[in-house]
Amino acid sequence: MTRPSRPRALAAVVTATAFALLPAVPAQADAIRAQEWGRQALHTDEAWRTTKGEGITVAVLDTGVDGSHPDLEGQVLSGKDFIGFGATRGDASWALHGTAMAGIIAGHGHGPDRGDGVLGVAPEAKILPGRVILESTDPSRGKARESRGTALADGIRWATDQGADVINLSLGDDSKSAHPDPSEDSAVQYALGKGVSVVASAGNSGDKGDRPSYPAAYPGVIAVTAVDRYGTHASFSTRRWYATVSAPGVDIVVANPDQHYYMEWGTSAAAAFVSGAVALVRAAHPGLSPAQIKKLLADTARDAPEGGRDDARGHGTADPAAAIEAGAELRPEGAAEKPSRSGYRGQYFGPGPAPARDDDGPAAWLAPAAGGAGVVLLAVAVVLWRTRTTSGTGPGAPATPGTGLPGFPGRR
């Protein structure tokens, strides 16, 4: 059978957004904090001793974000709509999933002392919204499938050029016809090359064949699988080679434009938690590259599977506090190594010149020879020092990709 065109594939992705439109019983606002087990599982309180994400911008490429929500007010920057039609503010099918993800990442709560509502992983980070998909209940989704197949790739490049530090992709295509798209892959590499970390959901096909999902499977992406409150792999979470780390994805409290709160599940939520974690790490260590941050998350993950990694949970559950602590030992890629502050304390670098003698014996010619050797050694040392300070090194290497679902934002 002929492989469907990219717009067609995106349609499958968009359909997956349905979970954002099927809310469970609304959670009471005054009981939200008690139900936010996901944030507690990431040890955010410990990470907040260092930073809460101030100065970091997280692009949420999704169904749109309601910046007027009490939990997000003042945190959401001006965004861009890459679809251009469909539901608008106030409609039942507008910005449900995107608002939920933004709350997980950077919600700051509201009310007295901000004690009510959703508190995100990086409450001082800014959200840059880009609408690249429509909710599954949006009557215009069919039209978007056929005419907006490049929205995700365009959104990734746009977010990068707008100065995003992290791009959250709680979406993806894990349909039977899912396949890599050159324009999306190129956009992801463009972002990574500009120093932007890309986080995506691994997919929700764990109970449907563990089909690979894109963009999670693109090289360099931090792909996130889901676990429950006991750290157990969620049955719906896709098991694939590209899994980097895991994060909470079951019974997650999310904010909604209708001013109510809902419980949702999916690797979309898991990806949002990790995007918040990356925001904290970047705020603490702004010079680290996407590859270094990805490796840092993998190296410091908690509850690592036997052998250090598996397809279900990657390297374990993301731990931003541990990553921040370990990141202090890393140097930004390309940064010069600092020369020793103490320097050489001897009179000469090397043996130095021999004392002068009055006779013409061996010592007479050994003196200049020794002095010449000292000069040579000094010259070699200078060359080596200059080489080392200009070359620089940096730990970490591009890691495997991860996937999210550009419309599959999880399920509720």
- Which residues form the catalytic set? 62, 97, 268
Q: Cα–Cα distance between 118 and 260 in angstroms, integer?
A: 11
270 close to 297: Cβ distance less than 8 angstroms: no
Residue 28 CB contacts under 8 Å (≥ 6 apart), including other chains: 261
Q: Which of 48, 103, 78 is nearest to 163 (CA)?
A: 78
3-class DSSP state of 318: coil
The burial class, CB within 10 Å (0-12 / 13-18 / 19+), for 263 is middle
- At residue 57, what are phi and psi to the nearest 5 degrees? -115, 125
User: What is the Cβ-side half-sphere exposure of residue 365, based on CA atoms within 13 angstroms?
Assistant: 3
Which own/partner pairs from 205-210 qualify as long-range (CB within 8 Å, at least 24 positions apart)? 205/174, 205/236, 205/238, 206/233, 206/234, 206/235, 206/236, 206/237, 206/238, 206/239, 207/235, 207/236, 210/238, 210/239, 210/240
Q: Would you state the structure tokens that stand for residue 349, as one six-digit string?
A: 């670098």
- Cα distances (Å, whole numbers) of residue 390 to 22, 49, 225: 56, 35, 39
What spatial distance separates the first Cα and last Cα of the chain, rounded to whole Å?
A: 32
- Residues belonging to the chain: 412
Q: Cα–Cα distance between 95 and 76 in angstroms, integer?
A: 13
Q: Would you state the structure tokens that stand for residue 158, as one six-digit string?
A: 């746009």
Q: Cα–Cα distance between 359 and 332 in angstroms, integer?
A: 57
What residue has token string 């990790």? 274
The burial class, CB within 10 Å (0-12 / 13-18 / 19+), for 42 is buried
